[in-house]
Amino acid sequence: MGKASDGEFVTLGLGDEVFAVSVAHVREILDYRAPFAIPEGPPYLLGLTDVRGRGTPTIDLRLKLGLPLIETTQATRILVLDVPLDDRVLSLGLVADRVIEVVSFTAEQIETSPDIGVPWRSDYIQGVVRRDSATEKGRFVVIFDLARLLTSQDAAAFSQAA
Q: Which helix (H) or strand (E) holds 20?
A: strand 17-22
Q: What is the pLDDT of residues 85-98, one digit of tens each?
A: 778 888 999 999 99
pTM score, whole prediction: 0.83
- Predicted confidence at residue 162, as pLDDT, reads 55
Mean pLDDT of the chain: 83
Neighbours of 9 (CB within 10 A): 25
Q: What is the pLDDT of residues 14-50, one digit of tens each?
A: 998 899 999 999 999 999 999 999 888 888 899 999 9
Beta bridge partners of 104: 8
Euclidean distance between the first and the last CA atom of the chain, given in angstroms as a whole number = 30
**The CATH number fitting domain 7-161, selected from 2.40.50.180, 3.30.750.24, 2.40.50.100, 3.50.50.60:** 2.40.50.180
Q: Is the pLDDT of residue 81 over 70?
A: yes
DSSP 21-82: EEGGGEEEEEE--PPBP-TTS-TTEEEEEEETTEEEEEEEHHHHTTPPP----TT-EEEEEE
